[in-house]
Structure 1
Amino acid sequence: MSYVGPDFDPPRPRRSPLRRTLTVVLAVLVPGALLGWLVWEALGGSDDGGSGRGTGAASSAGGSASAGGEPDDRPGRSASQSPTSSAPGGAGPLAGKVVVVDPGHNPANVQHTAEINRKVDIGTHTKECDTTGTATNSGYSEAAFTLDVAHRLRALLERQGATVKLTQDADRPYGPCVDERARIGNSARADAVVSVHADGAGAGQRGFHVILPGAVHAGAADTRAIVAPSWKLGRLIADDFAESTDTAPSNYVGGGSGLVTREDLGGLNLSTVPKVFIECGNMRDSKDAALLTSGAWRQRAAQGISEGIVSFLRG
């Protein structure tokens, strides 16, 4: 029998030789592994996923952006991108395509009335170099509207792989004149040109319309080759614009079709590439003006125009 009393400790079990060997091995390996882990952490850790401590600061320094790009009311461009230039087209359905976006008027035109009133030849007759454009009753100018939509449209088209050029980006004292706007598209050998505008009709006259070139052959103007493709471009833009913005075609021109043909616009008469104008709404009507002054709505307007251009260029 065993005895355990106050003056005796219970006998200790004997360790086997194998257990003593494992104890020695662990005593050697554990400190080594700990030292190795500390060195690994000091050198920056793994590059495969994880929390990415090495890149987090860089991401924060570069600013934040949502998946959809810039906020609705603050479209912009890269600081390294010159005003009227475009980053080269990348991969996408519009790779290799050139689109010229023509923001109507110029915010500085109001300061150069003598220059913009100079007459230029548009083939059928002479016409003012440019105009100041219209504005809402609260003072939001057509020139500001067209430039904002042009920025949004450029961003959308570049995401599709297109090379995009603006005729102006508030980077010149006035204009350009309507004949030069046409030449910019011609020189770029654009696959499509869209001139962005907003109308200045009477109150109660609402809706958008797309202006198509008529068949003009006079002086320097010859639109005969671009009438058919321009009609197709305009039809697609009108359809997609209506769907994207949930607005109706004009109730005062175009007979409800949203399409109007004109032969008195230099930007169309002198174009040798497919080109249309779009009047996105009537700035002088309070209901239309509420849309035109909304950044969210302008994004939808740009989306509709973009979708029409994409459909046209993809055939």
Structure 2
Amino acid sequence: MSYVGPEFDSPLSSRPRRPRRGPLTVALAALVPGALIGWFVYEAVGSPGDGSGSAAAGASSSAAMSPSATASNDDKPPNPSPLKGKVVVIDPGHNITNFRHTAEINRKVDIGTNWKECDTTGTSTNAGYAEAQFTMDVSHRLKTLLQQQGATVKLTHDGDSPSWGPCVDQRAKIGNDAHADAAISIHADGAAAGDRGFHVILPASVHAGAADTRAIVAPSAALGRSVESNYLRATGEQPSNYIGDGTGLVTRKDLGGLNLSTVPKVFIECGNMRDSKDAALLTSGAWRQKAAQGISEGIVSFLRG
């Protein structure tokens, strides 16, 4: 507000001239409006101890506490290596050169419940695509996916050394010696034509001879269920129509790779190589990538709890 100075009579006015205001009057006139303004501001702001904040203070407080001004736990970046420190052992079923070493692979080994062949040649599609080729391809794809998640991954063999096998008891020992957090043996079945689908094999409770699976039955079952559900979702392949009662899960006590394991372990039969419809999937590189993805996601889910 601007100051206009003392008031003067108009030369045209006939009214008697009023006396001039003194300095004190002018000072009081200036102070009173200022005091009134200060009082209104005080009332709006509130006294320091009355618990009411000013609009400015409230705005400042809100800004200080706003999501953009404070860090939230939700803003933490995702863990790029969720499986760091975890060890996974992948067992590619059979070996492409086993057929050249029949004497070695027919040698019997103790699997706890009985004695069984060291290994077999595996099956193949009607067109000659070998199970051992399939298992090695899926195992390499699976290894890459798990390593991308930060896991340490070991294969029981890589198609070159040894030149056959290894025997089923050695395959179990590799997982045990690695103190694997999870182990899986990759296979494809050789059932009759018309038998379709996949199934995951879980270890039964065995305590005989060199075998004692009692400590791994429960975690292996959890691993198997996780692999089964993720494999189904990723591939679209249905649970076996010839074994497992449609659950995709089977429990066995006649497999040395499971009986002799001391770490959580399962087998997966990814499909039936002897059925033409399943064989068309198993021989597709794009579909094998889906299979590896489903198995990987099952293992990751299991290990992350």
TM-score (norm 2): 0.74
Determine the C-alpha separation between the residues in 1 that align with 2:163 and 2:80. 35
Rg comparison, structure with higher value: 2
Q: Which residue of 2 aligns with 1:234?
A: 224
Q: RMSD over aligned Cα, in angstroms?
A: 0.9
Question: What letter matches 1:311 in structure 2?
Answer: S
Question: Across the two proteins, how many residue pairs are aligned to each other?
Answer: 226
Q: Which residue of 1 aligns with 2:274?
A: 284
Give a deviation string over 1:183-214, Cα, whole Å, max 9, x none. 00000000000000000000000000000000
Q: Which residue of 1 aligns with 2:102?
A: 113
Q: Which residue of 1 aligns with 2:111?
A: 122
Give a deviation string over 1:125-171, Cα, whole Å, max 9, x none. 10000000000000000000000000000000000000000001111
Give a deviation string over 1:267-309, Cα, whole Å, max 9, x none. 0000000000000000000000000000000000000000000
The list of structure 1 runs, each at least 4 consecutive aligned residues, that deviate by more than 4 angstroms after superposition, is: none
Question: What letter matches 2:114 in structure 1?
Answer: H
Question: What letter matches 2:107 in structure 1?
Answer: R
| Shift of residue 91, structure 1, vs aligned partner | 5.5
Q: Which residue of 2 aligns with 1:168?
A: 157
User: 1:1-315 to 2 correspondence within 5 Å?
Assistant: 92-171=81-160, 172-315=162-305
SS at match of 1:182: helix
Determine the C-alpha separation between the residues in 1 that align with 2:132 and 2:99. 10
Question: What letter matches 1:92 in structure 2?
Answer: S
Determine the C-alpha separation between the residues in 2 that align with 1:127 and 1:173. 20
SS at match of 2:103: helix
Give a deviation string over 1:7-41, Cα, whole Å, max 9, x none. xxxxxxxxxxxxxxxxxxxxxxxxxxxxxxxxxxx
Greater shift in the superposed pair: 167-176 or 260-269: 167-176
Identity %: 75
> Which consecutive residues of structure 2, in runs of 5 or more, have no partner in the other structure?
1-78
Question: What letter matches 2:196 in structure 1?
Answer: R
Q: Which residue of 1 aligns with 2:14?
A: none
TM-score (norm 1): 0.71
